[in-house]
Amino acid sequence: MTADADQRPPLDAALLAEELALTPDLTLELLPESPSTNRVAADRAREGAPDGLLVVADHQTAGRGRLDRTWETPAGAAITFSLLLRPTVPAASWPWLPLLTGHTVAKALDSFGYDARVKWPNDVLIEGKKVAGILVERIETGSGAAAVVGVGINVTTDPDELPVPTATSLRIAHGDRTPTREGVLLAVVAGLREGYDAWQAGGSEAGERLASSYAAACSTVGQDVRVDLPGGTAISGRAVDVDRDGRLVVETADGLEKVGAGDVVHVVPG
């Protein structure tokens, strides 16, 4: 643990409660420590919690990534939260939720002066390194399907605390001008609530707008990529677009391929 790490204060619960009270469609559950906010939010969803429950862990001890991977964050250095949503859009539109979330996180970080880009589908990168990860899960509940939108952002993580060499943090990118965890959390959550509500209410027109805004901001489009597919195979080529269903369109030697899920490697990181 570094000297900085010793000085990391807990999240300011009073400030968060006060600011979030201004948003009537969000309810805060702030936990000093939790294995996984996605797990807590999923439990609450099954217990009947409404849309807008925001579960925040000051320290998450067993964070989950996609495909049984882990998400590791030192105490007091990161933001880890899950937002419970109960979408009314058709099931076919749900794959947009993680993309919308990544796009929103990148835009919120940009508002603090960063140049954050989203790598398809939803990794948020600064200078080619991962600063935020997103895990969206669909939960079946007694009152219909719910979505748990989990977001982890490295804020004051120091270089020697990064779990993998491909990671970065807001402090590593900006040093002294690093925003507070509370400031970043509030900006991301407000952006998410706003972007999600507009997308839900706006019908196909809002869907079109999101698709073109996402494709324009996604750093994967225009890159040479390898996509590792869930079945263990891979395709390589030039990523040329993100289609109306959120799929990555890759121009391969055999023609255009549309990919709905997979891990992208940018051949030249960006």
Amino acid at 63: G
Of 46-54, 98-106, 128-136, 214-222, which part binds ligand BT5 (CB under 6 A)? 128-136
Of the candidate residues 16, 42, 53, 71, the single one contacting ligand BT5 (CB under 6 A): 71
- The nearest distance, CB 255 to ligand BT5, in angstroms, is 28
Binding segment toward ligand BT5, per CB under 6 A, in 68-76, 179-187, 203-211, 229-237 = 68-76
Binding-site member from 73, 93, 219, 223 for ligand BT5 (CB under 6 A):
73
Output the six-digit token pair for 139: 């939960």
- Closest contact distance (angstroms) between CB of 152 and ligand BT5 is 3
Asked if 63 interacts with ligand BT5 (CB under 6 A), we say yes
Q: With contacts defined by CB under 6 A, name the span among 109-117, 129-137, 214-222, 234-242 that binds ligand BT5.
A: 129-137
Spatial separation of the C-alpha atoms in residues 160 and 115, rounded to whole Å: 23
- Asked if residue 219 binds ligand BT5 (CB under 6 A), the reply is no
In the bound state with ligand BT5, the residue whose beta carbon lies nearer, of 63 and 179, is 63
Contact flag: residue 65 with ligand BT5 (CB under 6 A): yes
Instruction: Enter the tokens of residue 89.
Output: 């859009």
Residues forming contacts to ligand BT5 in the complex (CB under 6 A) are 36-38, 60, 63-67, 69-73, 80-82, 130, 133-135, 150-152, 154, 163-164, 167
